[in-house]
Structure 1
């Protein structure tokens, strides 16, 4: 007969895992009683009570005292996860803007700051804009870099294991930039770097139109075309970070697809390339024949790559995001017809509602995942006591 030996280390790790189980049962729920937490975690009520009291003592949870009166007896105490125990930051370094979004550990956005940047900005200019945007966001929330537990930066182009876009990026000179190394001089917390389309896909599953799906193809439809893939609930990066970069294959026709909109014959001379798509979509909505033809040709090219991804992955949902998703009423039906012509099974096609915040929101989710993974691997240490954050004057 084999005797089971339990060491002090085993018991300590078990307590840590049980504490994490209770934290997961607290996060994302209204204030809960010990009985409710016991039901969610599967732990006994006495064990749950011990765990939650320890979490309160360590600063991970707070007590919500009963309110009102009861003729039966005193209402049970309720407990709530202390979301302000730490904070995370998501940053979108795009072609025309820098957006920084700060959130607590529940993912509640507390402050955001955006700053324009020109598409032809050199790396030094873009990095300077990123630094200024982050600093302004922190100051606006009354925080410092020490308050952050994780930072994720979204960039354009496939991100390799070093956090750089060495394969390709349309941002001038950006292949030489290491964003994590640059931000490492400002932050002591983990810094992640990820492709913008992949982060947008994460955001759609977290807070967007694909919350009910584990199999998602996200299409970036705009001046640039790209894709992000979530399969079986997992973001797919690929071996070298280039999963979804199907537009690199010229036969797919994604590289030149937006030119159909920019070259519409009825486009007024006063409308520049950056505004051409908006004009064409509006004109197509009003019945302009040339504009409708331009939209049809654009969606035909967009559908080639989309169909290849659909046939390879058989997703539940295709989410159309990016700037052109604002014209979903004009864009989605032609795209659906093209996919019906090309695919064995057409998934649901939905338009993003997250606007241009999707990348930054996906970055927040990845930062939160990093915090969760670190807590699971290293155990719980008591967070710093909360301090009063006074937003800076704007």
Structure 2
């Protein structure tokens, strides 16, 4: 009796494509014979896979090279996909962007000038920051957004992006953003960057506490970002049990921003207030920690370096309330973490689509 493996022709084709892409992802230009040796595929099956991947735009055929006697051997190479994804972080007060070219990361930041029409002001800042880059080869842009973002990319509620509530920012900015736009929650994007390149690289269960203009959280569970049923997991802005700012004398229109800038500038009162904010969060954070039992708690955001001296005291407060307290560390990243995370998440999404039937664009222009 012959048993079915459960694999249909479509699944086999996808597996074969993935095997070829895994080999070519290292950037080498390989001949068919070399690819056959690396993948274990027959020459006939391999040539069919190569034609499909070339038609999708994932690989390209290189100029023929002389392989000894006989006709020159064609080689195949992965297109530089890592360089085709831009990271964009749209906040309430600034827009930041990151782009990688040949392994080197370029970063730019432009403030958003307060105005009656904040959508127009945001558009100006987005246009200004993108003008600093050559985006002609960008296929996809990962966009980090603040607030509750639904699965369609609509801002359900946001303190920082109040003007965009009920709107899809990626659609409103589509004429400016290169390539296809992927929206991501900014705190989760920051956590993902931390998981890929920061303090949390060796952890799969992580609680991320963002301390900036207002506290927020994000969760990494079993190596995956946790969004929750409604996409609002970790959103703290409506919770009256959470202190949302710290006291510091300011008569300006942007009191939270003034407090933050004062703390970063070393003002003793503001520094003490920021550190008090962290210690005041110990009890509610201990409750959350008890529920998910992470191996690591990362404190990120612009206030992370300010509160670093009291992290030990903060962990002691957790230990007093928990059976087993996680390791606590401050972020190794800076204000570009959300843009970096949005870029990495979009790149990951692209790789997950490698074997889909969709043809990827040859340039950003074809996505317009």
Which of these residues, 225, 229, 243, is aligned with residue 254 of structure 1?
243
Which of these residues, 245, 263, 272, is aligned with residue 277 of structure 1?
263
Which of these residues, 337, 340, 351, is aligned with residue 361 of structure 1?
340
1:50-108 Cα distance to aligned partner (Å, 9 max, x none) = 58966996662687999xxxxxxxxxx9986432586112111123210122246x9x4
**1:153 corresponds to:** 143
Contact kept? 1:64, 1:80, Cα under 8 Å: no
Q: CA deviation at 1:362?
A: 0.8
CA 1:148–1:332 in 2, change beyond 3 Å: closer, same or farther?
Answer: same
Q: CA deviation at 1:206?
A: 1.3
Distance in 2 (CA, whole Å) between partners of 1:351 and 1:314 is 18
Which of these residues, 118, 141, 145, is aligned with residue 123 of structure 1?
118
Contact kept? 1:247, 1:305, Cα under 8 Å: no
Which of these residues, 106, 112, 133, is aligned with residue 107 of structure 2?
112
Distance in 2 (CA, whole Å) between partners of 1:5 and 1:161 is 35
Instruction: Report the TM-score, using the length of structure 1 for normalisation.
Output: 0.72
Distance in 2 (CA, whole Å) between partners of 1:244 and 1:11 is 42
Instruction: Report the TM-score, using the length of structure 2 for normalisation.
Output: 0.77
Q: 154-163 vs 115-124, which deviates more?
A: 115-124
Per the alignment, in what secondary structure is the counterpart of residue 384 of structure 1? coil
**2:153 corresponds to:** 163
**1:392 corresponds to:** none
Distance in 1 (CA, whole Å) between partners of 2:353 and 2:288 is 33
Contact kept? 1:62, 1:81, Cα under 8 Å: no
Distance in 1 (CA, whole Å) between partners of 2:156 and 2:289 is 27
Distance in 1 (CA, whole Å) between partners of 2:227 and 2:124 is 27
Q: Matches of residues 193-272 of structure 1 in structure 2 within 5 Å?
A: 193-251=183-241, 253-256=242-245, 258-259=246-247, 262=248, 272=258
Q: Which has the higher strand share?
A: 2
Distance in 2 (CA, whole Å) between partners of 1:3 and 1:201 is 45
Distance in 1 (CA, whole Å) between partners of 2:96 and 2:122 is 12
CA 1:80–1:299 in 2, change beyond 3 Å: closer, same or farther?
Answer: same
Q: CA deviation at 1:236?
A: 0.9
Q: CA deviation at 1:315?
A: 0.7
Matched, 1:178 2:168: yes
**1:99 corresponds to:** 96
**2:68 corresponds to:** none
Q: CA deviation at 1:172?
A: 3.9
**1:314 corresponds to:** 293
Q: Which has the higher helix share?
A: 1
Distance in 1 (CA, whole Å) between partners of 2:88 and 2:199 is 21
Per the alignment, in what secondary structure is the counterpart of residue 192 of structure 1? strand
CA 1:322–1:210 in 2, change beyond 3 Å: closer, same or farther?
Answer: same
**2:317 corresponds to:** 338
Distance in 2 (CA, whole Å) between partners of 1:250 and 1:305 is 11
Structure 2: 5+ residue stretches without partners: 66-73, 251-256
Per the alignment, in what secondary structure is the counterpart of residue 359 of structure 1? helix
Q: CA deviation at 1:305?
A: 3.0
Q: 368-377 vs 338-347, which deviates more?
A: 368-377
Which of these residues, 85, 93, 103, is aligned with residue 88 of structure 1?
85
Structure 1: 5+ residue stretches without partners: 67-76, 265-270, 284-289, 387-394
Per the alignment, in what secondary structure is the counterpart of residue 303 of structure 2? helix
Distance in 2 (CA, whole Å) between partners of 1:2 and 1:240 is 46
1:135-158 Cα distance to aligned partner (Å, 9 max, x none) = 314xx32x33xx332222112111
